[in-house]
Amino acid sequence: MGQYKPPSSRAASLPRLFRIGKDSHGNWVAQDQQGLCGGLFVDRVEALKFAMYENGNCPQAVIMVPGILELDLNAKPQRIHQADHRDATALARAA
């Protein structure tokens, strides 16, 4: 079993994209685009702190969802499509 490493020391070239919004019960939700991690939070500030910590402090990789965003803990991890990879590469260059 490996030891947990904070996102800043992970060997990842692209930031993880996170969505933040409210669910149908009024709870704040943060979840990465691939469905690998996320959670429910008491307010927007805490959801944003979580997303920023998990994505290596990259504000360009956080999307505020204006509608309903339900936390999906049953989602299977998704592969990044080629178009998403190009968009993420552009974000990494802009940072």
pLDDT at 11 over 50: no
Query: Dihedrals φ, ψ of 27, to 5°?
Result: -80, 150
CA pair distance 42, 11, nearest whole angstrom: 31
Is 8 contained in some domain? no
Give the sign of the dihedral formed by CA 72, CA 43, CA 15, CA 3: negative
What tens digit of pLDDT does each residue of 31-83 get? 999 888 999 999 999 999 999 999 999 999 999 999 999 998 776 655 555 45
Is 9 contained in some domain? no
Locus of tokens 């339900």: 70
pLDDT at 93 over 90: no
For position 50, what pLDDT does the model report? 97
Domain count for the chain, please give it: 1
pTM of the model: 0.65
For position 47, what pLDDT does the model report? 97
Q: Confirm if 61 and 48 have CB atoms less than 8 A apart.
A: no
Domain residues for 31?
Answer: 14-94
Is 5 contained in some domain? no
